[in-house]
Amino acid sequence: MAEREEDRNAVLIEKIRQGELVEDPADMTDEYRENLIHLMMMEADSEIAGAFGYVPWIMKAPNPAEMLAVASIARDEVRHGRVVYKLLENLGVDVEDRVKQFDFTLRVGDQDYLGQQRAGQDQRVNIFYYPIDTWSDFIMFNVLMDRAAGHQLDDVVHCSYGPWRRVMDGIMKEETMHIAHGDTWLKRLGRDPATHDELQTTLNLWWPRVMNVFGRPKTRRNAIYQKWQLKVRDNDEVRQAFVDDVTKAIEAAGLQVPTWIPDWEQVPEEGQAAG
């Protein structure tokens, strides 16, 4: 008699609780596989979309040294995407068809606000739909989103899927270098009276965008991720770790951390229905 899915789930959960890593797709249950693929697609699609957003700044960077720095960052992001796509191929995902299917250059208007929504059908984190229009935008993306990605991927370092866990070392090292690049420029621009106000305005623009990438607290889906140890923390815990970290860099540059009220906590204006 075929083993019931709920029994297979129970067996796999117990193995994970005992500290065993999942290595073979044959050992996965449907729920484990579905949620693993969803998380990995979000990472891979985000890496590729992020790289495409950086590419124009190879040509528009302020000097040749920065042209090289931007090119290196873009290359790193493509490599990260390829690494995770290769893992997805091992799980039966047709990656080449996926890359052809979606437009990873798609961007919304610079004043559009997506909140928690995506602008397209790919699985990128929605901050990668916003355009990078200025050098300040590029630097703020380094400072905020590369740092946010590092905090999110820190859960992968402790996840139950062995192949994904093992590729994180190289990815995290390169993300740390991207953050350092951003922090250097953050201080340079933030402490310069000629660029301080522009940079604060840029921070104000990107702050709600980056705070939304972590998702709502205590969601049903995140509970499933935690059950399978695909994530080890709640969304709000990751967001708070990010805020504690980035606040130091922002204040060191002489800037102020903007106030943020989550979309799901905002009181609708009189006469409007709550979403």
Tens digit of each residue's pLDDT, the chain (275 residues): 346 878 888 999 999 999 999 999 999 999 999 999 999 999 999 999 999 999 999 999 999 999 999 999 999 999 999 999 999 999 999 999 999 999 999 999 988 899 889 999 999 999 999 999 999 999 999 999 999 999 999 999 999 999 999 999 999 999 999 999 999 999 999 999 999 999 999 999 999 999 999 999 999 999 999 999 999 999 999 999 999 999 999 999 999 999 999 988 875 444 333 33
The domain tally of the chain equals 1
Q: In whole angstroms, give the CA distance from residue 136 to residue 134.
A: 5
Token duo for residue 253: 């540059």
Residue 8 lies in a domain: no
Residue 114 lies in a domain: no
Sign of the Cα torsion 111, 116, 121, 126 reads positive
Residues forming beta bridges with residue 161, ordered by sequence position = 22
Residue 12 lies in a domain: no
Residue 18 lies in a domain: no
Helices (H), the chain: 5-17, 30-54, 56-60, 64-90, 95-101, 135-141, 147-153, 162-190, 196-212, 220-227, 235-252
The whole-number pLDDT of residue 1 equals 38
Token duo for residue 50: 């992020």
Domain at 181, CATH number: 1.20.1260.10
Residue 226 lies in a domain: yes
Residue 230 lies in a domain: yes
Could you give phi then psi for residue 180, rounded to 5 degrees? -60, -40
Q: Which 3-state string (H, E, C) describes 158-225?
A: HCCEHHHHHHHHHHHHHHHHHHHHHHHHHHHHHCCCCCHHHHHHHHHHHHHHHHHCCCCCCCHHHHHH
The whole-number pLDDT of residue 204 equals 97
Residues forming beta bridges with residue 22, ordered by sequence position = 161
Residue 29 lies in a domain: yes
How many CA atoms lie less than 13 Å away from 257 in the CB half-sphere? 17
Q: In whole angstroms, give the CA distance from residue 39 to residue 32.
A: 11
User: For the whole prediction, is pTM greater than 0.85?
Assistant: yes
Cα 171 to the center of its chain, rounded Å:
13
The whole-number pLDDT of residue 3 equals 64
- Find the domain containing 246 and state its range: 25-108+120-256
Residue 219 lies in a domain: yes
Q: In whole angstroms, give the CA distance from residue 181 to residue 8.
A: 46
The whole-number pLDDT of residue 157 equals 95
The whole-number pLDDT of residue 81 equals 97
Spatial contact of 243 and 249, defined as CB atoms under 8 Å apart = no
The whole-number pLDDT of residue 270 equals 41
The whole-number pLDDT of residue 267 equals 52
Token duo for residue 149: 């990605």
